[in-house]
């Protein structure tokens, strides 16, 4: 009706943005000399902003993956535990060796007394023999324990070798993984910068009032621009009226009569 005067277009857009929640069938014509229609520009902007969001999500995901050192931490904890076990076993072994040596010394003393001919009293000799026998039994038990402990300690040493090897593998894997993740992150940062430039360039080209409508819709609905596919608004899945469909073919902003999103006919 009044679209020959460019000033009226802005008035129409302002009306469109203030009538929230009301089904508005607004058609706002822009200068037809524009190479890219406003709807196309806004759709393009939306795609760039979606790509920026996806990029940022990917960056945080990579950040979390880079902060994850659990594989190496687990491998290191396993190795530490095995080393501690070996240390404890060595301590027990030392105590056992000391006790065995002590018993051997006692047995030696008794043997000397038994066989040096100085002790002749049969009662005393029998008592010495009984004492010596006791010490030998005790020593034999301790020697069995020492043997078991030695086997255990060999097994732990083997575990330490395995755990050390696994730690080396985990560290190497982590290094490679982090290297790849960092490369990916750098690429994402580069892409992000490029997308941001594209976004700013596009924003500078879009008419400010149209941009305001876009921003308001984005804030309220998440998606501001909806594609029209097979005569249906992609935002609400409701059929677009013939009149609206005709208008989308022009260089205009047409908003869905149902959901209010800016319609874009690819």
Query: CA nearest 255: which of 78, 242, 240?
Result: 240
**Residue whose structure tokens are 């985990």:** 170
Q: Exposed/middle/buried for 110, CB within 10 Å: 0-12, 13-18, 19+?
A: buried
Query: Shortest gap between Cβ of 240 and Zn ion (angstroms)?
Result: 8
Instruction: Closer to Zn ion by CB, 69 or 249: give it.
Output: 249
**Site residues (CB under 5 A) for Zn ion, limited to 204-263:** 233, 235-236, 256, 258-259
Instruction: Closer to Zn ion by CB, 45 or 233: give it.
Output: 233
Query: Shortest gap between Cβ of 261 and Zn ion (angstroms)?
Result: 5
Residues 6+ apart with CB under 8 A from 217: 223, 224, 225, 260, 261, 262
Instruction: Closer to Zn ion by CB, 92 or 241: give it.
Output: 241
CA dihedral (238, 239, 242, 248) positive or negative: positive
Instruction: Closer to Zn ion by CB, 59 or 241: give it.
Output: 241
Query: Shortest gap between Cβ of 238 and Zn ion (angstroms)?
Result: 5
Instruction: Closer to Zn ion by CB, 36 or 236: give it.
Output: 236
Q: Does 142 bind Zn ion (CB under 5 A)?
A: no
Query: Shortest gap between Cβ of 237 and Zn ion (angstroms)?
Result: 8
DSSP 66-134: HH--HHHHHHHHHHHHHHHHHHHHHHHHHHHHHHHHHHHHHHHHHHHHHHSS----HHHHHHHHHHHHH
Query: Shortest gap between Cβ of 54 and Zn ion (angstroms)?
Result: 23
**Site residues (CB under 5 A) for Zn ion, limited to 23-82:** none
3-state secondary structure of 232: strand
Total of chain residues touching Zn ion, rule CB under 5 A = 6
Query: Shortest gap between Cβ of 232 and Zn ion (angstroms)?
Result: 8
Instruction: Closer to Zn ion by CB, 202 or 239: give it.
Output: 239
Taking CA atoms, 213 is separated from 20, 50, 147, 266, in Å, by 11, 17, 84, 20
3-state secondary structure of 255: strand
Binding site for Zn ion (CB under 5 A): 233, 235-236, 256, 258-259
């Amino acid at each position: 009706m009044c679209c020959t005067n460019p000033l009226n277009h802005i008035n129409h857009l302002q009306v469109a943005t203030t009538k929230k929640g009301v089904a508005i069938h607004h058609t706002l014509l822009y200068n037809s000399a524009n190479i890219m229609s406003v709807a196309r520009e806004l759709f393009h902007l939306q795609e760039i902003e979606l790509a920026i969001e996806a990029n940022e999500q990917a960056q945080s995901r990579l950040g979390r993956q880079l902060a994850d050192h659990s594989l190496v931490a687990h491998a290191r904890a396993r190795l530490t535990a095995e080393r501690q076990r070996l240390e404890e076993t060595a301590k027990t072994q030392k105590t056992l060796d000391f006790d065995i040596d002590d018993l051997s010394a006692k047995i030696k003393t008794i043997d000397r007394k038994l066989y040096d001919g100085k002790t002749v009293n049969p009662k005393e000799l029998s008592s010495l023999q009984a004492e010596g026998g006791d010490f030998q039994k005790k020593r034999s038990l301790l020697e069995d324990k020492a043997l078991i402990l030695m086997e255990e300690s060999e097994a732990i040493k083997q575990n330490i070798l395995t755990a050390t090897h696994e730690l080396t593998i985990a560290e190497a894997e982590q290094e490679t993984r982090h290297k790849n993740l960092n490369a990916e992150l750098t690429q994402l940062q580069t892409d992000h910068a490029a997308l941001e430039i594209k976004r700013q360039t596009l924003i500078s080209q879009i008419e400010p009032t149209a941009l305001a409508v876009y921003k308001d819709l984005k804030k309220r609905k998440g998606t501001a621009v909806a594609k029209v596919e097979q005569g249906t608004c992609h935002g609400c899945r409701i059929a677009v009226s013939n009149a609206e469909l005709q208008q989308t073919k022009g260089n205009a902003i047409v908003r869905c009569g149902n959901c209010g999103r800016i319609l874009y006919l690819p």
